[in-house]
Amino acid sequence: MISVTVYSTGPRCMRCGLTCRRLDEAGIPFTVIDLTRQENASQREFVTDELGYTEAPVVVVDDEPENHWSGFRPDLIDRLAAHIAAPATNARVTTPRPRQIHDGSAPTATLSDGPSAAITDNAPGRN
C-alpha cells in the first residue's frame, strides 16, 4: 500500500485544501501534518532543510526522495491514482493467435502457440 503524507500550513492554506480534496476524490488515503504546530517542528525541518521546500503543501509518497512535490499538482495526483490502479486495470488477458497445422491428408487443425492466455502488464513505463 502506498503511503502519502501532505505537509500543510493549516486549514487556511488554499492549495493545501485543494490537494487534500483532490486526493480524497481520487480515493488515495493520506495523512496531513500541520507544519505550523509546534509539535511538528521536526517535520517542518525535514520539509525545509532536507527536501528544500519553502511553500506548502508538500506531498511525499512512500518517504522516497524522488517521490515528492510542492504545490497543488492535480496532474501528479492523477498520475499517482493511475499508478495505484495500474495493477488491477492495466493487466489484460490476451489470447495468442492460433497457428494452422495441415498434414496434407487431414482437414486443417488449430493449435495454440502456448498457454491459452497470456497476461501482459501495460502499465506506463513497463515493457
Q: Each residue of 15-70: pLDDT tens digit?
A: 999 999 999 999 999 999 999 999 999 999 999 999 999 999 999 998 666 789 99
Inside any domain, residue 30: yes
Find the CATH number of the domain harbouring 49.
Answer: 3.40.30.10
Is 121 in a helix, a strand, or coil? strand
Q: Can you read off the three cell numbers belonging to residue 24?
A: 480524497
64 and 95 both lie in a single domain: no
Inside any domain, residue 53: yes
Domain around 113: 91-121
Cα 85 to Cα 43: distance, rounded to the nearest angstrom: 29
Q: Quote the pTM value.
A: 0.67
112 and 80 both lie in a single domain: no
Inside any domain, residue 126: no
27 and 67 both lie in a single domain: yes
Number of structural domains (the chain) is 2
Cα 90 to Cα 92: distance, rounded to the nearest angstrom: 6
